[in-house]
Structure 1
Amino acid sequence: MSRGERGVEGRITRRRLLAATAGMAASALLPVGMLRASGGEGLRIQRLAWAGIRLQLPRASLFIDPLTNPDAWGLALKDRLVPVSDASDESYVAITHAHPDHFDAQAVAQALAKGGVLAYPAGTQPLPMPAVARARPSVAWEPQLLGDFTATPVPASDGYGDPQVSWVVSAGGRRIFHGGDTLWHGHWWRIGRQFGPFDAAFLPINGARFGWRKPVSGQPGVLTPEQAVAAAVILGARCLVPIHYGVAGATDYEEIEDPLGRLRAAARGKGLRIRALAPGEWLDWNGGA
C-alpha cells in the first residue's frame, strides 16, 4: 500500500470513528420520546441511603453517590444502608463530589469489586481511590460513555463552594437527573434546554444549614423543598424523587422541619408527581403521591 493510500484509509477510519463517537454522544441530547422509540431495554432505579441511587439495566449497574459506611453520619442518619455488593459484572460509579457522604470509598470498592469505572468531577481527587477502580475525571457538559449508560456531568453548586456536578443519565429509554446535594443556582434553565424533559429528577430537599464554617451564614446550603420543585419544573421533570434528607441530631447541621410535607405542598398545582422512596425501594415509573 502506498503512502497516499495509507493516508486516505487513515482519514476514512478517523472519519468513521468520529462519526460513531458523535452519534453515541448525540444520544444524550435526543428527546426522551425518541429515546423510548429506540426500543432499548428498560431501566430500573433503586433509591439507596441518603443521596445514593442505583440504575439497573439487565446486564449493567450504575451507582451515583452510593453510601454504605455507617460512620458517614453515625446515628444521625436513620436511613437503612442498602448493600451494593451485588452489582452486575459490568458496573460503574459516578459521584457528584468528594465529601464523605457522597464519595464513600467503601461503597465504591464494593460496587466495583469486579472492576469498573469511577467517574467524578474534573478538578477533584477522591481519596482513597479503590484499587479496582478505573479513574474517569469528567468535565462538565462532556458525555461519559459508561457501557450502555451515557452520563453527562452538568454544573452544580456546593454549599461550601467545593467542586461539584450533577449527573444527567440516559439509558434504557429513560433520562434522569441526579442533583447530589446542590443548592439553587443559575444553570437550571440551560440544563433543561439541553437535556429536558426528564422522566425523573432525584433532588435534595432538606435545606440544611451548616455551622461548621465561620462566620455562619444561616442560609440553606442545600435545595429547600420549594427550590427543588422549582428546579424540577424548569428541568421538565415528570417525577421528582426526593433524596438527601432524614438527618437529625448532627452537630452544627440543621435540617428544615417536615421536608416531605413542604415538598408535597410546594408541588400542588405544578403538574409534578412526587415519589418518595424508602431506601431500598425501586421506582415505579407510573406511580406517584
Structure 2
Amino acid sequence: MSTDGSVRSRPPRRRLRRLAAATCVSALVAGYAGASGCSTLPYPASPQYGDEGFRNPAPPRAMGFRETARLWRDFLLGSKPAGTVPARPIPVTPITVGQLEQAADGTVYRLGHSTVLIKLDGRFVLTDPVFSQRASPVQWAGPQRFHAAPIDIEALPPLSAVVLSHDHYDHLDKAAIRMLVAKTDLFLVPLGVGDRLVRWGVPPDKVRQLDWWEDTTAAGIRFVATPSQHFSGRTPFDRNATLWSSWVIDGGGLRLFFSGDTGYFDGFRTIGERYGPFDLTLLECGAYDRRWQDVHMLPAQTLQAHLDLRGDWLLPIHNSTFDLAFHEWQAPLETLTTLAEQADVKMTTPLIGQPVVVREAMPYPRWWRAMPE
C-alpha cells in the first residue's frame, strides 16, 4: 500500500522476468565484455594466477562499451531471431540402470549440454552435471532446458568421479552437486572450484583440485587437467576467481578429451602432441557468436581443434539443451556435420541419451532435421 493509502499494483510479470534475466546473464556479459572483479581465492603458486585472478595465456578480446551495451540489449529485451528454441521438446532416449550395467566398456552417453556419462573399465565418470530445469541462479527464470534428462540423478550408478570444467551455471549445478555427493567417490575440479564445492557441503576428502598439466588417478583412470581459453564466475563480482580447464580422461584402453568451454587456441595442438591421439573428442560446439569466439569456438574452430588434438571420432557437446546465444538451436550440429563431411572427419551425433560405443562408433542420422519448425 502506498503512503496515500492507495494499493500499489504489482510489477508486470514481464518486468520481473527481465529483472531475473539481468541477474542470470550478468556474469555472462561481464565475462564477454572483459570486465574484472574482485579476486578472493589467491593461488600464488599457480602460473595461471595473477593480480586480478586466473588468466588465459592470451587474453580474450575485450568488447567496447557500445558492443557491450548492444549485447545487454539483445539478451534482456529479447532481440533474438526466430529459431533459437525448438518448437517442441527435442527427442530423448531414456536410459535405464539395467542398460548401464550391461553397457560395454567405453560407452558414452550425452545427458544434455556438456553433461556426459562415461563407462570405462566397469566404472562411471560424469562430466559437468547439470540436471536443473534452468541454467540460472534461480529456477523461475533464465535459460530453460529443451528436454528432460534421459536419466534422473537418483537412478545414476555409483560414480568413481565427477569431472568439472568450470563454475558457470550451465556447467556447475549446485542442486545436482549436492544430490551427487552420496554416490560420488571423488570430484575432480580446477583450482578454486573445489573451495566452492566444500562451501556447498561436499566433504573435503571427496574434492581434488588440479592446476593445468597436473594429473591424478581415480579408480584406475588417469585424469589430466589441461588448458582451455575461457573465464569463470557466477556473479559480476567473482570473475576469474576460479580456474577453468579441459580434461584428458585415460582409462580402459581408451583416451578421451573433454573440452569444457573454450575458444580456439594453440593449446589444442600442444595437448594433442602431449596426450594424443584421442579415440574420442568431446568438443564444445554451441552458444557461439563471432563477438565472443575467443571464449566459445565457432563450428569451423571446433573441427580444427579436433584435428589439432589428433582425434579419431568427434562428438560435439554444449548444444541442444539451452538457449544461450543468437544462432538457431540446430545450427551447431548442422554446420559442424557439414564441415566434418567435407574434411572427411568421423563425427557422431547421437540423440540425447543414445549410447555411443567408442570402439564401435558410427555416425547417426541428422535427427534435428526431423524436428518441426
Question: Would you say the 8 A contact 1:180–1:203 is kept in 2?
Answer: yes
Report how far residue 42 of structure 1 moved.
Answer: 2.7
Give the equivalent residue in structure 2 for 1:92.
161
Question: Would you say the 8 A contact 1:93–1:108 is kept in 2?
Answer: no
Q: State the TM-score, normalized to the length of structure 2.
A: 0.59
Give the equivalent residue in structure 2 for 1:203.
283
1:70 aligns with 2:148: no
Aligned residues: 240
1:57 aligns with 2:120: yes
CA pair 114-51 structure 1, distance change in 2 beyond 3 A: closer
Give the equivalent residue in structure 1 for 2:340.
267
Question: Would you say the 8 A contact 1:80–1:279 is kept in 2?
Answer: no
Q: Does the residue aligned with 2:118 lie in a helix, a strand or coil?
A: strand
Give the equivalent residue in structure 2 for 1:28.
none
Greater shift in the superposed pair: 72-81 or 265-274? 72-81
Report how far residue 57 of structure 1 moved.
Answer: 3.4
Give the equivalent residue in structure 2 for 1:219.
292
CA pair 281-143 structure 1, distance change in 2 beyond 3 A: same
CA pair 275-180 structure 1, distance change in 2 beyond 3 A: same
- Give 1:126-275 correspondences, 5 Å limit: 126-127=196-197, 128-132=199-203, 134-158=206-230, 162=240, 163-209=243-289, 218-220=291-293, 221-246=295-320, 253-255=325-327, 258-275=331-348
Give the equivalent residue in structure 2 for 1:278.
351
Q: Does the residue aligned with 1:72 lie in a helix, a strand or coil?
A: coil
CA pair 129-144 structure 1, distance change in 2 beyond 3 A: farther
Q: Deviations over 1:80-118 (max 9, x none)?
A: 324233344452111000112111122233333234211
Letter in 1 for 2:269: W
Residue segments in structure 1 that go unaligned for 5+ positions in a row: 1-40, 210-216
Question: Would you say the 8 A contact 1:177–1:198 is kept in 2?
Answer: yes
Greater relative contact order (Cα 8 A, min sep 6): structure 1 or 2?
A: 2
Distance, in Å, in 1 between the alignment partners of 2:188 and 2:162 is 6
CA pair 130-274 structure 1, distance change in 2 beyond 3 A: farther
Question: Would you say the 8 A contact 2:288–2:296 is kept in 1?
Answer: yes
Letter in 2 for 1:80: A
1:48 aligns with 2:111: yes
Distance, in Å, in 2 between the alignment partners of 1:126 and 1:200 is 30
Give the equivalent residue in structure 1 for 2:65.
none
CA pair 249-105 structure 1, distance change in 2 beyond 3 A: closer
Q: Does the residue aligned with 1:100 lie in a helix, a strand or coil?
A: coil
Letter in 2 for 1:43: G
Report how far residue 188 of structure 1 moved.
Answer: 0.8
Greater shift in the superposed pair: 169-178 or 41-50? 41-50
Q: State the TM-score, normalized to the length of structure 1.
A: 0.74
Report how far residue 159 of structure 1 moved.
Answer: 5.4
1:288 aligns with 2:363: yes
Report how far residue 248 of structure 1 moved.
Answer: 6.3
1:106 aligns with 2:175: yes
CA pair 79-222 structure 1, distance change in 2 beyond 3 A: farther
Alignment RMSD, CA only? 2.5
Q: Does the residue aligned with 1:222 lie in a helix, a strand or coil?
A: coil
Letter in 2 for 1:168: V
1:81 aligns with 2:161: no
Give the equivalent residue in structure 2 for 1:31.
none
Percent of pairs identical after alignment? 22
Q: Deviations over 1:44-64 (max 9, x none)?
A: 211111111111236421111
Letter in 2 for 1:241: L
Q: Does the residue aligned with 2:314 lie in a helix, a strand or coil?
A: strand
Distance, in Å, in 1 between the alignment partners of 2:203 and 2:155 is 16
Residue segments in structure 2 that go unaligned for 5+ positions in a row: 1-103, 137-141, 233-238, 365-373
Letter in 1 for 2:312: R
Report how far residue 256 of structure 1 moved.
Answer: 5.7
Distance, in Å, in 2 between the alignment partners of 1:241 and 1:130 is 33
Q: Does the residue aligned with 1:223 lie in a helix, a strand or coil?
A: coil
